[in-house]
Chain A
Amino acid sequence: GQNIDQPTEMTATEGAIVQINCTYQTSGFNGLFWYQQHAGEAPTFLSYNVLDGLEEKGRFSSFLSRSKGYSYLLLKELQMKDSASYLCAVSDASGGSYIPTFGRGTSLIVHP
């Protein structure tokens, strides 16, 4: 099984930087995904990490440490439209299916 932990809620100010952490325990780690979900809408893919290190994509970056079972999503130059839920999902190869398991999500509120 897997255990994925994220903070429930975070608040930040427009223009600032925020880091959303995700820790996981899994027996057959095979990659970690981050998705963004606005209220009442479908999640959309943000990033994928399978090797240690930082992946940068515009204002968003994602970091992975496999030895620590830890990832974070870094959002820079925050905008009001970044207010959303951010979902961490871990792919586990131990069962042979690689189906991602999702954390509970972190609700980010951006204030003016």
Chain B
Amino acid sequence: DGGITQSPKYLFRKEGQNVTLSCEQNLNHDAMYWYRQDPGQGLRLIYYSQIVNDFQKGDIAEGYSVSREKKESFPLTVTSAQKNPTAFYLCASSFGNNEKLFFGSGTQLSVL
């Protein structure tokens, strides 16, 4: 079955630690996105990529980094510079601009 897979489902980060969230899709989508969701808030865009080896900052990119070395994969690293990382992180993909998004099942990140 085609789909978009995020792992892990739950992740804990220690002070000063970088952690990486995985996102893989086999839908042959060109565009991939990372959103952050806090309780009572909408989805806020962290980074997006419309093509391999290219990505753009979203509204809240500070403290995060991404790579897009393969079409199928768009990992997100939450760095130690992100002082409030506790949130639900959602990865999404689409065929292209202005197309509906397909979401992964999310990763809940918490700070120890």
Closest to B102 in A: A45
**B 76-112 to A, binary, CB cutoff 8 A, 1 in contact else 0:** 0000000000001010000001101111111010000
Q: Are A41 and B43 in contact (CB under 8 A)?
A: no
Given the complex of chains A and B, what is the CA–CA distance between A33 and B100 in angstroms? 8
Given the complex of chains A and B, what is the CA–CA distance between A48 and B105 in angstroms? 22
How many whole Å from A63's CB to the nearest CB in chain B?
18
> What size tier do the contact residues of chain B reach?
20 to 34
Q: Are A98 and B97 in contact (CB under 8 A)?
A: yes
Q: Are B106 and A98 in contact (CB under 8 A)?
A: no
B64 CB within 8 Å of chain A: no
Given the complex of chains A and B, what is the CA–CA distance between A37 and B51 in angstroms? 27
Closest to A42 in B: B103
**A 68-112 to B, binary, CB cutoff 8 A, 1 in contact else 0:** 000000000000000000010101010001111111110000000
A103: which B residues are within 8 A, CB to CB?
42
A105: which B residues are within 8 A, CB to CB?
42
A40 CB within 8 Å of chain B: yes
A100: which B residues are within 8 A, CB to CB?
101
Q: Are A102 and B58 in contact (CB under 8 A)?
A: no
A30 CB within 8 Å of chain B: yes
B74 CB within 8 Å of chain A: no
Given the complex of chains A and B, what is the CA–CA distance between A100 and B90 in angstroms? 14
Q: Are A31 and B98 in contact (CB under 8 A)?
A: yes
Q: From A40, A41, A91, A101, give the contact of B98 (CB < 8 A).
A: A91
How many whole Å from B35's CB to the nearest CB in chain A?
8
B53 CB within 8 Å of chain A: no
- With A43-B90, A97-B97 as known contacts, state yes or no: A102 contacts B106, CB within 8 Å: no
Q: Are B45 and A99 in contact (CB under 8 A)?
A: yes
Interface residues of B (CB under 8 A from A): 33, 35, 40-45, 48, 50, 56, 58, 88, 90, 97-98, 100-106, 108
18 residue pairs bridging A and B, Cβ less than 8 Å apart: A4-B42, A31-B98, A40-B88, A41-B106, A42-B90, A42-B105, A43-B43, A43-B90, A43-B103, A48-B100, A97-B97, A99-B45, A99-B58, A100-B101, A102-B43, A104-B40, A104-B41, A105-B42
